[in-house]
Amino acid sequence: MTEDFRFNLLKTDGKARLGKITMPRGTVRTPAFMPVGTAGTVKAMYMDQVRGVGADIILGNTYHLMLRPSAERIARLGGLHEFARWPHPILTDSGGFQVMSLAKLRKLNENGVTFRSHIDGRAYEMTPERSIEIQTLLGSDIQMQLDECVALPAERKEIERAMELSLRWAERSYRQFGAQPGKAMFGIVQGGDQPDLRIRSATELAAMDLPGYSVGGLAVGEPQEVMLAMLDVTLPAMPAHKPRYLMGVGTPDDILKSVALGIDMFDCVMPTRAGRHGLAYTRRGKVNLRNARHADDPRPLDEESNCPAARDYSRAYLHHLIKSGESLGAMLLTWNNLSYYQQLMQGIRAAIGDGAFESFFAETQDAWTRGDLPLIGETP
């Protein structure tokens, strides 16, 4: 395996991109979906299962891990890879989004943000330098700059202020990151729903020649069409030879449409959170296992899936587990959902490689539109 962090763009099909990121801990095939391991665990999954469904990389959460058990403790115990038994690549976010959304009594200024923990009320300060220090202690392979994420809708003046602050914090974050062979720090494009601010942010970050770039501040309350419009204007201003990561996105439909615009990496809690609430993602769209229509259905979620949760358990049993509040129900649906997300990414990569992404896009959308299996005895 390479000693350096490298991104190779292997093929394009329209704007969709097939590539790979190589680093000492492994290769990430792109477009990639990263399961979210917020507190050092992908909820309701063993790490062997996460790897088994096809994940090359997972995401860890700086904010949650700094509060509990602390970055210093994880470092003493050998780093996050050893701590969580995941020897493959890990990307950590900066903690900025959680500070903005979860922390109590936060105060933001040029230096950083002070806040009180949502767990015990203890006071903390997060600066660009401290965020990178925490991520380095965790041992993550891809680290994110600290940024300020503004929820939409918002006033243009507020969006511009946060975007400019995030640019200054990117420079400070990268200075703190320094030389870490085999690892990378990504800058984060901000600018809300303002095209000119997005382009300006992307252009100024590109001038810093960072190892990779993220699009942040989307999937924060805006409609999908706004998100896609911002990607359409932002991506041409981002370096084509560097990986592009869309943070916090999203549904399978969001992912498919964003790949079509040129995004390489995704993360989202949606497949795990949905699984814990009785919702399954399949090639036929979403299936709500709480619905009584499944109570007597002996069929699996998807007889053609290579995931045992989708292939080997009846809908009736899954319905029973969810209605009974059994933890196995959440585990099985999470397994199914992460498996489907990885199958979707595998299909996307194969289609781009074959020059058939447009056909794959249409066929996938059509299958979702047709929807789930009809009831037993019901005419399709």
Query: Which pLDDT score is estimated for 380?
Result: 66
Q: What local confidence, expressed as pLDDT, does residue 374 receive?
A: 93
- The whole-model pTM stands at 0.97
Residue 334 lies in a domain: yes
With respect to residue 376, please indicate whether it lies within any of the assigned structural domains.
Answer: no
Do 54 and 196 lie in one domain? The reply is yes
Residues 253 and 289 in one domain: no
- Shared domain check, 281 and 223: no
- Nearest to 63, CA basis, from 34, 97, 104: 97
Kindly give the pairing relationship between strand 16-23 and strand 58-60.
unpaired
In a domain, 213, yes or no: yes
pLDDT at 154: 92
User: Under a CB-based contact definition with an 8 Å cutoff, are residues 192 and 163 in contact?
Assistant: yes
State which residues form the domain around 308.
275-370
Confidence class of residue 246 from pLDDT cuts 50, 70 and 90? very high
What's the CATH code of the domain at 213?
A: 3.20.20.105
Q: How many CA atoms lie within 13 A of 141 on its CB side?
A: 24
Domain end residue (candidates: 249, 267, 285): 267
Do 255 and 286 reside in the same domain of the chain? Answer: no
Asked if pLDDT for residue 59 goes beyond 70, the answer is: yes
Residue 285 near residue 253 (C-beta atoms within 8 A): no
Q: Residues near 120 by Cβ (< 8 Å), separated by ≥ 6?
A: none
Give residue 101's pLDDT band: very low, low, confident or very high (50, 70, 90): confident
Under 8 Å between Cβ of 27 and 8: no
Window from 56-70, 109-123, 187-201, 258-272 with minimum mean pLDDT: 109-123
**What's the token pair of residue 233?**
């204007």
Identify whether the C-beta of residue 333 lies closer than 8 Å to the C-beta of residue 275: yes
Q: Are 41 and 269 in contact (CB under 8 A)?
A: no
- 191 and 327, same domain (yes or no): no
The tokens for 295 are 């109570």
- Residues noted as catalytic: 93, 267
Separation CA 285–CA 260 (nearest Å) = 19
Model confidence pLDDT, tens digit, residues 353-373? 999 999 999 999 999 999 999
pLDDT band of 151, cuts 50, 70, 90: confident
Total domains, the chain? 2
